[in-house]
Chain A
Amino acid sequence: MAPLEATLPKSRTSFSMAALFERFGLAIFLGVLLVAAALLSPTFLRPANLINVLTIAAPLGMVVIGQAFVIMVRGLDLSVASLMATVAVLATAFKATSNEAIPAIFLAAIVFSALVGVVNGWLVAKRNVSPFLATLAMMIILQGVRFAYTGGAPISTLPPGMSFLASGRIWGIPVNLVTLAVLAIVLTVVLHRSRFGREIFMVGSNPKAAFLNGIAPDRVTIACYVICSVCAGIGGLFLLGYVGTVSNWVGQGYELDSIVAAVMGGVALSGGRGSILGALLGVAVLVVINNLVLLLGFPIEMQLIIKGIIIIGAAAFYRTRLV
């Protein structure tokens, strides 16, 4: 099966079945999954359910895009979920009841997230702290800051317009999907068509060679952490719009989910390989599986089991290795 194919030597010039499967395997898998879902559960294809699935997928998609950037420079960001919740708390700190505060909320969220990203990136790139520990520490610190501010109580003072982020439409298309699409397209262009994007791939595949070619790996790495944090911050606001109330755990589990989706989507943990489209396909697969577990009436805890098996399986399939 999959692991067997992954063990075959890959040549760069010829297209083998394995290479083809690695390239389109996830899309094929998603197709099979969708057909199976439609056959197994009549509810799945109902518009209400599909919209529900996509609404859940959108904030996760935003986080995954950022996570992909960090993973591509051999990193990992465990602080995204904690950041999402902290940004959500930050949004309530305005104590705003009118929609005029929304631009300010967005600005504050983005600036705060960017700062978090700078610290993460600085620790990893300049202080040589392993990404795992740096972002882990950041996760705990943000958690402490957030709880110290809220005292652990949920808050719901939010401008009414925040729910527009989850249920609003622009020309009939859900606004969260539009945002996700814009984010994905812009960052795909950045990744594949810009100098900075090329530098990301170079730093990810070989930091030393990148340095010798006149690239500053540290700056590229820090930029990737900033992109990741900002994406997570925006995702946090959209998730907040969906949930409506700030518990202190908004986004809990997104750190694992975003890594699962990115790895499943072919973003190599060893760095230098991956695409945003792939990562988003990973999100789609994850969300559909989660939805299917519910529709088929399995206990929700089964999502955890399936997710765990999938991440190990996907990583084995791509035979990725962290440095």
Chain B
Amino acid sequence: MTTLLMDLRRNRLMLSYLIVAVLILLILVAGGALSDRFLTWRNVTNVLQQLIVLGLVSLGQTFVVLMGGIDLAIGSLVGAITVFLANFLDWRPDLIWLAVPLALLAATSIGAVNGILTVVLRVHPLIVTLGMSSVIFGATLMYRKEPGGSIPRALEDIAYRNVAGIPVSAVVLVVVFAIAALWLQRTRAGRNIYFVGGDPEAARLNGFPVGRITIMAYALSGLCAGIAAIFLTARTGVGDPRIGVALTLQSITPVVVGGTILAGGRGGVLGTFLGVLLITMLNSLLNFVGVSSYYQWIIQGVIIIVAVGFHTVRRK
């Protein structure tokens, strides 16, 4: 019985993976037909370079959503870390080895605080992370209102460097996603996330350390946001408190499009990866065709509704 259910679950997920993959192919074909520059190596590397930030925040969101939560503090956190990095470094390459670990530590700790608050206060994660987002954003703005600071060349390099024509950031992203996929499927800690997301009460009754798993998921989301912030700072060269504002919601779209259920317990990081690829390529295509970002918003909203509507229909 259980294996049968597992198979069904697998298949349903496979189906959404397949649909997203087909959509990606369609975009490639449409892009090739509509513009002769879309399928050039230059544009491909450009798209690959853009993947990293959205990819990482969406990966973090995936951990939390799989565990049955949601993280609405991601954007504020990314903004806060970029501000910290740019102002702390201020052109000095010798500080990178201190700044990067500090940034990751801070991001992971703030993520863990989200988790601790949901566990200790037993308040819905929506409220906790919304409130935390407000707190982080306010604190960042009190420190620096305007974009500023600067980063040394060496750090800028990680965003733009290509090795054998392939952007380093894209390689990093693939490696991180591969590790995440293996971790979720092959380790006890990773599988625990699915158990808690599937049925927290059953997980508790079966002796799972639900609190610890919850905090771990949020801490991982924070860590991902921290890494994303490093790449984002490297890309833009400044620390901008508002740069992450849109990222929070953007991080949810690929997760949902990739077939991970918002209620938790079902889905996976491969879907998120495909979702990130789809969204980034779609935006790139729309830019190529000259569709303004305003219409891109509308399309993003419709995608969310269609994707979620699709999954709920399948559930019935």
**Is A303 part of the contact surface with B, judged by Cβ < 8 Å?**
yes
A258 to B145, CA, bound (A): 25
Q: List 19 contacting pairs A-B, 8 Å CB cutoff, sorted by A.
A: A127-B308, A128-B315, A139-B301, A141-B297, A141-B298, A145-B298, A147-B292, A147-B297, A148-B292, A269-B127, A304-B137, A305-B139, A307-B131, A307-B134, A308-B136, A315-B121, A316-B122, A320-B127, A322-B127
Number of interface residues of A (CB under 8 A): 45
**Is A133 part of the contact surface with B, judged by Cβ < 8 Å?**
yes
Interface string of A126-147 (1 = CB under 8 A from B): 0111101110111111011101
Residues of chain B from 97 to 144 with CB closer than 8 A to chain A in the complex: 117, 121-124, 126-128, 130-139, 141-142
Docked-complex contact B134 and A137, CB < 8 angstroms: no
Docked-complex contact B142 and A128, CB < 8 angstroms: no
B127 contacts across to A, CB distance below 8 A:
259, 263, 269, 311-312, 315, 320, 322
B binding-site residues for A, Cβ under 8 Å:
70, 117, 121-124, 126-128, 130-139, 141-142, 145, 249, 252, 256, 262-263, 292, 294-302, 304-305, 308-309, 312-313, 315-316
A148 contacts across to B, CB distance below 8 A:
292, 294-295, 298
Main secondary structure on B side of the interface with A: helix
Docked-complex contact B138 and A304, CB < 8 angstroms: yes
> Smallest distance from the beta carbon of A277 to chain B beta carbons, Å?
22
Docked-complex contact B252 and A301, CB < 8 angstroms: no
A197 to B168, CA, bound (A): 59
A127 contacts across to B, CB distance below 8 A:
308-309, 312-313
**Is A155 part of the contact surface with B, judged by Cβ < 8 Å?**
no
The total number of A-B Cβ pairs within 8 Å is: 143
Docked-complex contact A320 and B135, CB < 8 angstroms: no
Partner pick for A128 among B128, B130, B312, CB 8 A cutoff: B312
Q: Residue on B with the closest CB to A149?
A: B294
**Is A107 part of the contact surface with B, judged by Cβ < 8 Å?**
no
A140 contacts across to B, CB distance below 8 A:
249, 297-298, 300-301, 304
B132 contacts across to A, CB distance below 8 A:
308, 312
A binding-site residues for B, Cβ under 8 Å:
3, 76, 123, 127-130, 132-134, 136-141, 143-145, 147-148, 152, 256, 259, 263, 269, 299, 301-312, 315-316, 319-322
Partner pick for A137 among B121, B141, B296, B301, CB 8 A cutoff: B301
Q: Residue on B with the closest CB to A314?
A: B127
Q: Residue on A with the closest CB to B312?
A: A128
> Smallest distance from the beta carbon of A253 to chain B beta carbons, Å?
9
Docked-complex contact A144 and B301, CB < 8 angstroms: yes
A322 to B264, CA, bound (A): 14
A122 to B315, CA, bound (A): 18
Docked-complex contact B249 and A305, CB < 8 angstroms: no
- Known A308-B131, A322-B124; contact A141-B301, beta-carbon cutoff 8 A: yes
Docked-complex contact B262 and A144, CB < 8 angstroms: no
A263 to B142, CA, bound (A): 26
Partner pick for B123 among A137, A139, A320, CB 8 A cutoff: A320
B117 contacts across to A, CB distance below 8 A:
312
Q: Which of B123, B128, B308 has the most CB of A within 10 A?
A: B123
* Additional 17 contacts, C-beta under 8 A, given A309-B135, A320-B123: A133-B256, A133-B305, A133-B308, A136-B304, A140-B301, A141-B297, A144-B298, A147-B292, A301-B141, A303-B138, A308-B130, A308-B131, A310-B131, A315-B124, A315-B127, A315-B131, A322-B127
A134 to B305, CA, bound (A): 6
- Known A147-B297, A311-B127, A320-B123; contact A133-B134, beta-carbon cutoff 8 A: no
B312 contacts across to A, CB distance below 8 A:
127-129
B135 contacts across to A, CB distance below 8 A:
304-305, 308-309
> Smallest distance from the beta carbon of B174 to chain A beta carbons, Å?
28
> Smallest distance from the beta carbon of A254 to chain B beta carbons, Å?
13
Partner pick for B252 among A136, A143, A299, A305, CB 8 A cutoff: A136
A256 to B138, CA, bound (A): 14
Docked-complex contact B121 and A302, CB < 8 angstroms: no
A301 contacts across to B, CB distance below 8 A:
138-139, 141-142, 145
A130 to B260, CA, bound (A): 13
Docked-complex contact A137 and B142, CB < 8 angstroms: no
> Smallest distance from the beta carbon of A125 to chain B beta carbons, Å?
12
A319 contacts across to B, CB distance below 8 A:
122-123
Docked-complex contact A147 and B123, CB < 8 angstroms: no
